[in-house]
Amino acid sequence: MKTLFPSLKLIIALAAGLTAAVAPVRAAGPRVVEITANDQMKFSLATFEAKEGEELKVVLTNQGTLPKEAMGHNWVLLKAGVDLAAFATAAMTAKDTDYVPAAKKGDVIASIPVLGPKKSGEAIFKAPAAGSYTYICSFPGHYMIMKGTLTVK
């Protein structure tokens, strides 16, 4: 029994080590980027960075209290070279599709639907090729202020 005891201890130690080694793999997934929006029409993040091909999960939370119809916020990541003003203008009349105009879906890399107060939404996507990408809230009248840049390296 005295000789068995140390080996049992070793097995337990090994098992613990294995669990520790496996845990980070299980936790792996898209990197979470949290952005908040508020009644002052502000995104908490004006910029963030990513690596090409990196899996990202952007979580948008509307921290405001005003009703969705008056102060809803979405998050729309646009492809490079998209005419921002043209997109935003078309978005104004696209309420039924959360202000992402059907005709301009091809301009969008990822988006989160319009959120009312205290609501959260998310978008999971792969970071595009290296470059600068604009994200906006396309709720009517918001994009001039609610705007940020994703820099992919």
Q: Which residues bind Cu ion (CB under 5 A)?
A: 73, 137, 139, 142, 146
> Could you tell me the two tokens for 49?
């960075």
Given a contact cutoff of 8 angstroms between Cβ atoms, the answer to whether 150 and 125 are in contact is: no
Choice between 123 and 137, CB closer to Cu ion: 137
Alpha-carbon gap, residue 20 to 14, rounded angstroms: 10
User: Please, what is the minimum distance in Å from the beta carbon of residue 62 to Cu ion?
Assistant: 8
Choice between 78 and 152, CB closer to Cu ion: 78
Using DSSP's 3-state secondary structure scheme, residue 21 falls into helix
Burial of 133 (0-12, 13-18, 19+ CB in 10 A): buried
User: Please, what is the minimum distance in Å from the beta carbon of residue 145 to Cu ion?
Assistant: 8
Choice between 39 and 54, CB closer to Cu ion: 39
Burial pattern 1-29, b for ≥16 Cβ within 10 A else e, equals eeeeeeeeeeeeeeeeeeeeeeeeeeeee
User: Please, what is the minimum distance in Å from the beta carbon of residue 27 to Cu ion?
Assistant: 32
Choice between 127 and 146, CB closer to Cu ion: 146
User: Please, what is the minimum distance in Å from the beta carbon of residue 75 to Cu ion?
Assistant: 9
